[in-house]
């Protein structure tokens, strides 16, 4: 009920306000008379813009495009040589690392030749799982 009464009072208020200040709204600005023509003016402006865009697209006007710098690619042989050199270097590094790791496991500098890096380890052969990573290697 309250919402129906509020809608009725709102409609009456807007009507009364418009009736009371109609002359002032009419004379407030000179642009008020032109607002009827605004949709036609906007449509005309958009059509002109589209026509100008189409005409400028099909005319002989040129767009300045900067020239691209020369890009010289290395030759296939130099790329192949650099890849081969890299692969040989990686292979040598892996081979040297593997040789170093196996030489550490064969014996250490203290004279113990039992395969342990840190001397005798009595827990080496037990099944309790307490071997270290270095003993495993």
Answer whether residue 1 is part of any domain.
yes
- Confirm whether 93 is domain-assigned: no
Name the phi and psi angles at 85, rounded to 5. -60, -40
Does residue 13 belong to any structural domain of this protein?
A: yes
Are 124 and 116 in contact by the 8 Å Cβ rule? The answer is yes
Report if residue 3 sits inside a domain: yes
Residue at 62 is within a domain: no
Phi-psi region of 75 (alpha: psi -120 to 50; beta: other; left: phi over 0): beta
Please report the pLDDT score of residue 44 as a whole number. Answer: 96
Q: How many domains does one find in the chain? A: 1
In-domain check, residue 20: yes
Mean pLDDT (whole number) for 18-23: 89
Q: What is the pLDDT of residue 111?
A: 47
The reported pLDDT for the residue numbered 112 is 47
Q: Which tens digit of pLDDT belongs to each residue from 111-125?
A: 444 444 555 555 555
Over the stretch 27-83, which tens digit does the pLDDT of each residue have?
777 777 788 899 999 999 999 999 988 888 777 667 677 888 888 887 888 888 888
Domain hosting 19: range is: 1-30
Q: What is the pLDDT of residues 79-98, one digit of tens each?
A: 888 888 898 999 888 888 88
Distances (CA, A) of 80 to 77, 85, 87, 88: 5, 9, 10, 12
The verdict on residue 21 lying in a domain is yes
Q: Are 68 and 78 in contact (CB under 8 A)?
A: no
Residue 17 counted as domain residue: yes
């Amino acid at each position: 009920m309250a919402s129906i009464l509020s809608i009725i009072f709102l409609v009456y208020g807007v009507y009364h306000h418009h009736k009371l200040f109609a002359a002032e709204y009419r004379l407030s600005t000179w642009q008020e008379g032109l607002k009827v023509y605004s949709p036609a003016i906007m449509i005309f402006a958009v059509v002109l813009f589209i026509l100008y865009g189409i005409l400028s697209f099909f005319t002989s006007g040129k767009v300045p495009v900067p020239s691209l710098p020369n890009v010289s690619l290395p030759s296939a042989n130099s790329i192949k040589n650099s890849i081969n050199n890299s692969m040989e270097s990686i292979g040598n590094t892996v081979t040297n690392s593997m040789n170093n790791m196996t030489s550490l496991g064969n014996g250490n500098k203290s004279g113990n030749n039992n395969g342990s890096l840190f001397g005798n380890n009595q827990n080496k052969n037990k099944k309790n799982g307490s071997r270290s990573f270095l003993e495993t290697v």
